[in-house]
Amino acid sequence: MIVPGLDFLLVTRLAMMKGRMAALRATLGIATGIAAWGLAGFFGIRALFIASPWLYTLLKVGGGLYLFIQGARLFAGSWKNAPAEDQPANPAFTTTRAFRMGLLTNLANPKAPIFVSSLFAAALPQHASIGLGLTCVSTMFVIAVAWFSLVATVLSLRHVSRAFLRLRHWIDRASGLAFMALGIRFATERTAG
């Protein structure tokens, strides 16, 4: 449902740099993305991608480009001086941008629809009821919210944030490079077929 690490990286970074509320808003964005892929998976995105492979290619290239751009921004920003530790979070950032970042990071993951549709194909009976499908999607949403809320809460603790701030530039550089590498990989990876 997610690329291991990307959603976690986003929540981690926001919890420590922008605070618990920004990370929780990103958590809701991530969980919304997971639910969207869950609904798409249940209602047959895999069949759509098989029928129209160009849609999958478009998603891969677009998602890869989004991840690359986010990684480049993170990497470039890592060379700037860190803001003061007690600087208040930007309210505009915490209200809408964090949610959007979480949602787009998850939706830009081209592996997500394949993972979710494969999960449904393997775990659900062929003629599963809509109620069962919606229950599964709801469960995925709740699990994502619970997990990333725990991550956001723990990693927004002051002593954890201080440790992060000491290593921030290096963590941002490594994270930015990871985002860029995954973006390139997603955009250039050949589809099986």
Q: For residues 116 and 38, is the Cβ–Cβ distance under 8 A?
A: yes
User: How many residues appear in the chain?
Assistant: 193
List, for the chain, all residue ranges whose pLDDT scores fall below the cut of 70. 1-5, 46, 82-95, 118, 121-122, 126, 191-193
Alpha helices in 43-129 (DSSP H): 45-51, 53-77, 91-92, 98-107, 111-123
Q: Where are the domains of the chain?
A: 6-80+94-188
For the segment 103-117, what is each residue's pLDDT rounded down to a tens digit?
A: 998 898 777 777 777
